[in-house]
Homo-oligomer: A and B are copies of this chain.
Amino acid sequence: LILIGEKINGTIEEVRAAVLSRDAAYVSDLAREQTAAGADYIDVNVGTGLGDEAEAMVWALEVVRGATELPLCIDSSDPEVLAAGLESFGPEKPFINSATGAAASLEKVLPLAARYGSPLIALAMDESGIPPSPAARIAVCQKIVDAACEAGISDKDLYLDPLVMPLSADCEQGKVTLDTLRAIKLELGGVRTVMAVSNVSFGLPLRSVVNRSMLTVAVFLGLDAVITDPGEKGLVSAICSAEAVSGRDRFCKAYMKAFRADMLE
């Protein structure tokens, strides 16, 4: 499982302030902390709703690249911001987070992924919003897969996100997401999958308990990447043990390694 560290995100109050004041030390610390915790990629999202997001992205990417050698994940809903970030990179291949199935998004973001050879995260939603059923989400995913193929993006570089919604608003939402994930793996060939689990527990107490179960089932169903806090031991425990019980950890080697590194609880 690829672990994308989620903590540099402009929607979090402290990060927002750091981005707006260009506080490089704060952002560097978040990058280093997630690197030490075992992240594979560092997500960089500077969407604060204020100022020039493209300029902020170029600044933040430079700061983060000075703090970690990990590959990054450029995160914005604005294709211009993605383009500015990618442009600043040179030959590296950061993750692009994200496109949707909306025509305007596909038209602008797919060529970026193709041009830079970047893995691309695409959300199972389009102009009409978030489809309510697994079948409708799969239809959007199929549209994305077709467009990506036409744009010359290989299946293994496309990460579909089945979208995680809060159970507190609708108690069927966990199942809708997990059934969509299963259908992507079964019906859409070699395409990859990614999820940010924590939304599922919004509004519930002991959120980590719910997040842990959501991630455990997703790993069993074949999830390829997760966007989360790599320092949260409960989630790392869920990943390692779920891979073990799902036959995805030969000789339980990764589980034993995580245990010895005191990463489990």
Contact = CB atoms under 8 A, between A and B. Distances in A.
A51 interface: no
A89 interface: no
A58 interface: no
B252 A237 contact: no
Contacts of A251: 171
A1 to B, nearest CB: 13
Contact of A250 (B171, B250, B252): B171
Interface string A186-207: 0000000000000010001110
A213 B252 contact: no
Contact of A204 (B175, B246, B252): B252
B213 A238 contact: yes
A170 B217 CA distance: 21
A264 B209 contact: yes
Contacts of A205: 256, 259
Given A216-B216, A238-B213, A204 B255 contact: yes
Which one of A174, A213, A216 has the highest number of Cβ atoms from chain B below 10 Å of its Cβ?
A213
A241 B42 CA distance: 28
A233 to B, nearest CB: 10
A154 B19 CA distance: 64
Interface string A168-182: 100110111010000
A21 B196 CA distance: 55
Given A216-B217, A252-B204, A245 B210 contact: yes
A141 interface: no
A264 B167 CA distance: 17
Interface in A208-264: 209-210, 212-214, 216-217, 220, 237-238, 240-242, 244-247, 249-252, 255-256, 259, 264
A82 B220 CA distance: 37
Given A246-B178, A246-B217, A241 B210 contact: yes
12 contacts: A171-B247, A174-B246, A205-B256, A209-B264, A210-B244, A210-B255, A212-B212, A212-B241, A213-B216, A214-B245, A217-B242, A217-B245
Interface of A: 167-168, 171-172, 174-176, 178, 200, 204-206, 209-210, 212-214, 216-217, 220, 237-238, 240-242, 244-247, 249-252, 255-256, 259, 264-265
